[in-house]
Amino acid sequence: MEHNKKGNVGVFLSGIAVAAAIGGYFLFGSKNARKNRQKVEDGIEDAKADVMNKLKKIKRLSRDKYYEIVDEVMNKYSKLKKIGTEKAEELRDELKERWEEIEKEAEEDEEEK
């Protein structure tokens, strides 16, 4: 049984290596690489805009609600070919790391009202 688990890990890691190689070719090696990178960048900007639009509709923002919105939007964008799962996960992590900055901005906006 232990041997089977190690075999599965090896297959999984091989799959990741193949996916990374394909992604690298898609973004840097193919004749359409520049266009492909632009599509990914456009998709990332679209995802960030979706998060911001949803945040504007929230009256009282909490960390949990912010994370919920980020997860919802990134789940949607991870399924699109524009971004893909790996970039969506990176962006999800980046947005969640910015919670304190978002919270501070929300508090400042509230004080101005």
Token pair, residue 4, equals 């089977």
20 and 71 co-located in one domain: no
Instruction: Quick: pLDDT tens for 76-101.
Output: 888 776 677 887 888 888 888 888 88
State how far the alpha carbon of 38 is from the alpha carbons of 44, 59, 76, in Å: 10, 34, 19
Q: Is the pTM of this model over 0.85?
A: no
**How many domains are there within the chain?**
2
59 and 10 co-located in one domain: no
73 and 38 co-located in one domain: yes
63 and 80 co-located in one domain: yes
SS3 content of the chain, % helix, strand, coil (to 5): 85, 0, 15
38 and 81 co-located in one domain: yes
Q: How many whole angstroms separate alpha carbon 16 and alpha carbon 83?
A: 17
Q: How many whole angstroms separate alpha carbon 75 and alpha carbon 83?
A: 11
16 and 69 co-located in one domain: no
Instruction: Quick: pLDDT tens for 40-59.
Output: 667 777 888 888 888 888 77
54 and 83 co-located in one domain: yes
45 and 17 co-located in one domain: no
49 and 91 co-located in one domain: yes
Instruction: Quick: pLDDT tens for 21-36.
Output: 444 434 445 556 566 5
Domain that holds residue 11: 1-30
14 and 66 co-located in one domain: no
95 and 71 co-located in one domain: yes
